[in-house]
Amino acid sequence: MSDYNLSLFYLLIYSTTVVILVAGMIILSYLLGGRHREPATGEPYESGILSTGSARLRFSAQFYVIAMFFVIFDLETVFLVSWAISVRETGWGGFAVILVFLAFLLSVLVYEWRIGAFDYAVSGREILKSIRKAKGI
């Protein structure tokens, strides 16, 4: 077997062992654990307060924007990764390419920053400003 196949083979053995180990833990604790049933056993834990309504809450679209940023920056990382491994081979030509690419990346970063896409809460400065205005300082 070649080196490549050998390392792949070891990886597969390793992952199988990991899966068996983890499954073993789950099954063992299922077999060993006690069982009991009382009136409040099947209730969700909310610090002692009775749960009202469904826990299937809907979330703000802000989290979607974060996930979208992540996907796109992760894709950009792929290009950075392919450049990082071939810096020596591609030389200054490759450097120029990545420079332009990074310029795109940074310009969009600056743009998002300016329009406040990374401000996840009201800024303290703004609050201070409005307090000052209200008090007439």
Q: Enumerate residues 90-109 that contact other proteins by CB under 8 A.
A: 90-95, 97-102, 104-109
What is the closest distance, in whole angstroms, from the C-beta atom of residue 25 to other proteins in the complex? 5
Q: Smallest distance from the beta carbon of 124 to other proteins, in angstroms?
A: 10
CB of 5 to other proteins, least distance (A): 6
Nearer to other proteins, 33 or 39 (CB): 33
Based on the shown chain and the rule CB under 8 A, indicate whether residue 57 belongs to the binding site for other proteins: yes
Count the residues in the chain.
Answer: 137
Contact positions with other proteins (CB under 8 A) in 72-91: 72-91
Q: How far apart are CA 131 and CA 133, in angstroms?
A: 5
The string over 58-97, giving b where at least 16 C-beta atoms fall within 10 Å of a residue's C-beta and e elsewhere, is eeeeeeeeeeeeeeeeeeeeeeeeebeeeeeeeeeeeeee
Instruction: Indicate whether 39 belongs to the interface with other proteins (CB under 8 A).
Output: no
Long-range contacts of 19-24 (CB under 8 A, 24+ apart): none
